[in-house]
Amino acid sequence: MQSDSDLDLVTSARAGDVASYGRFVQRHQQRVYRLALHLVKQRADAEDVTQETFVRAWSALDRFDGRSEPFTWVYRIAVNLSLNVLRARRARPQAPIDDDARVEAVLAEYRRSPGDPLVNSENRERVSSLLRAMETLSETLRTTLVLVTVDGMSHGEAASVLGCPEGTVAWRVHEARRKLRAALSDMNAISEVEP
Amino acid sequence: MSDRVSRPDRLERAEQLLSVWSEASSDELRWVAMHESILRRIGEAPRIGAEELLTPPLPRQPEEPETSESTAGLHQSGERSTFVGRWPAETTRSAPKTEYQEPQERRWTLPKHGRRLGALAAVASLAAVAAAIALLYVRTPLEPGSVSEVRVQAPRESAPNIVPAVASVLPRDSVPSSPVEAKRAINSPTRVSRTARTTARAAVAKSTAKKVNAPSAPDAESSLERQDPTMTPASGPSNLPDHPTTGAVQAAVSGPMARARLCATGLAGPISVSLTFAASGRVQDVQVGPPARDTPAESCIASALVSARTEPFARGTYEVPLTLIPAESPANH
């Protein structure tokens, strides 16, 4: 049963099989958490979004019509919930970027293989700069970029999640990277004149 | 940032750092705890709708191009997407004009030139089903006793969903803003048409069924109809056909059959299904044969087919034998 496809699991879950849905959750919860963390930036909120995503998806299983991949369908719910969290948080002050959970999460992967401390330091700065630059992007561009660049989705899959044409995804990724280059260039120019 | 790295490289190297984070790092116990928490919440959670969460999530960028031609050359070297080279020329020509349309499906649609025919067939089927439903609700009252025998799969819609369902059939100035108002609207003979009351009542029945949990959905619907004297049908008109026409049956089952095929994904061979329509045009009974019988797919198929509706007819019941070809199992991603 471990080799069941997502569609098999979701079909069984629609018929009330909680165990199948449990396997589906197990298969995708880390990916959904990663996406949520990149969008909402805080671990606690990302965990809440992840749990809520699968609970809401279970409630809405009857509306899954099989025309898309189950995980892209779940991703859409996760993106919507993450954006809801961001919009609700908008009035509150933002956490400083140095406390961004994403930086530590990315660098944790590198610490597993101990390397040059200087390289680790450069990596931290590089990731921090990129994440700071990503904050300058619009919600639309940032979310699209996270799906394609960070999560590794194809344009078709991202289009399915976002409900837009593939061409639009391609344009957004290009535009986001163009703006990121400009933002990183500005940051570099500032750091070069600083003592 | 290091001066040794040129500007273009800097972005790509930073992106590489992010992409290496293939799985969110955390200890195994936390994933297990999260998994258990989700399953516990599933058992406890009310059946809440998620319509707002299934809509396209993001607004369009103001400077976004209208057509895809201008985006065809945007692929950057090193970008991880497989977009370039996979996009058929036909898709490029017919690139969508707006952002908010349903995603272009890749795995479940007909191959290339068959897609347009498939779309036309789907539109024709929908039109036929809509016509059949319109006939059912507008021309003829329900037959007595037919509704109570319908087997309905437990609905998973929320109480607030009553409002859109009612809103779609009510006059604009009488759209209710809450489930309570929706129920009030149903009982208001002066403001709401009979069709509107019928549709709203169905929505209320689904909501009521959900509150008392899944298995009681049919009871909720039928008991609501029993309680409401306006649901008691008038004596049958004399101009009803003896039984539904083949075309009407085909129109009625085409959509539900497509959904039922998905339920049977992965099963081997054709599945014999027998559909019994009541005189009202609703499905009274669904019998699913092997190989789907006694499998999880059986209830899924039954719940898909029970939504079929045809025009009312004079004969007591009308049985339709069907053969269901399971959908092909998509490749695992």
What pLDDT score was predicted for residue B198?
46
What pLDDT score was predicted for residue A181?
84
Chain B environment of A22 (Cβ under 8 Å): 35, 39
What pLDDT score was predicted for residue B75?
38
CB hemisphere CA count around A33 (13 angstroms) = 24
Q: Per the CB < 8 Å rule, is A68 touching B105?
A: yes
Chain B environment of A79 (Cβ under 8 Å): 57-58
Q: Which of A73, A126, A132 to mutate to test the interface with B (most CBs of B within 10 A)?
A: A126
Chain CA centroid to CA A12, Å: 27
Q: Which pLDDT band holds residue B130 (cuts at 50, 70, 90)?
A: confident
Q: Which pLDDT band holds residue B220 (cuts at 50, 70, 90)?
A: very low
What pLDDT score was predicted for residue B31?
78
Gyration radius from chain A CA atoms: 19
Chain CA centroid to CA A99, Å: 18
Chain A environment of B43 (Cβ under 8 Å): 18
Q: Count how many residues are written for chain A.
A: 195
Q: Per the CB < 8 Å rule, is A168 touching B74?
A: no
Q: Per the CB < 8 Å rule, is B81 touching A125?
A: no
Distance CA B303, CA B206 (A): 14
ipTM for the predicted complex: 0.71
Distance CA B167, CA B182 (A): 9
What pLDDT score was predicted for residue B207?
44
Q: Are B136 and B26 in contact (CB under 8 A)?
A: no
Using the Cβ of A17 and the Cβ atoms of chain B, whether some distance falls under 8 Å is answered with yes
Q: A133-147, B56-70, B210-224, B232-246 — which one is most confidently predicted on average?
A: A133-147
Q: Which position has the higher pLDDT, B194 or A104?
A: A104
What pLDDT score was predicted for residue B100?
38
Closest alpha carbon to A73 in B96, B81, B55: B55
DSSP helix/strand/coil, B283: strand
Chain CA centroid to CA A66, Å: 23
Q: A169-178, B6-15, B52-61, B197-206 — which one is most confidently predicted on average?
A: A169-178
Contacts 24+ apart (CB under 8 A), A130-136: A130/A180, A130/A184, A130/B11, A130/B14, A130/B15, A130/B17, A130/B18, A131/A97, A131/A100, A131/A102, A131/A103, A132/A97, A132/A183, A132/A187, A133/A179, A133/A180, A133/A183, A133/A184, A133/A187, A134/A180, A135/A97, A136/A179, A136/A183
Q: Per the CB < 8 Å rule, is B34 touching A126?
A: no
Confirm whether pTM is higher than 0.90.
no
Asked if the model's pLDDT at residue B214 lies above 50, the reply is: no
> Encoding tokens for residue B268?
């081997």
Asked if the model's pLDDT at residue B160 lies above 70, the reply is: no
Q: A79-93, A104-118, B14-28, B128-142 — which one is most confidently predicted on average?
A: A79-93
Of the partner residues B51, B80, B331, the one whose CB lies closest to the CB of residue A149: B80
Q: Which position has the higher pLDDT, A73 or B53?
A: A73
- Average pLDDT for residues B112-117, to the nearest whole number? 55
What pLDDT score was predicted for residue A118?
59
Asked if the model's pLDDT at residue B194 lies above 50, the reply is: no
> Encoding tokens for residue B320?
């339709």
What pLDDT score was predicted for residue A188?
65
Q: Per the CB < 8 Å rule, is B54 touching A63?
A: yes
Chain B environment of A169 (Cβ under 8 Å): 83
Distance CA B4, CA A186 (A): 17
Asked if the model's pLDDT at residue B15 lies above 70, the reply is: no
pLDDT > 90 in chain A, percent: 19
Asked if the model's pLDDT at residue B200 lies above 70, the reply is: no
Using the Cβ of A180 and the Cβ atoms of chain B, whether some distance falls under 8 Å is answered with yes
Provide CB contacts within 8 A for A161, sequence distance 6+: A72, A75, A76, A79, A147, A153, B57
Asked if the model's pLDDT at residue A78 lies above 90, the reply is: yes
Using the Cβ of A163 and the Cβ atoms of chain B, whether some distance falls under 8 Å is answered with yes
> Encoding tokens for residue B143?
């037959």
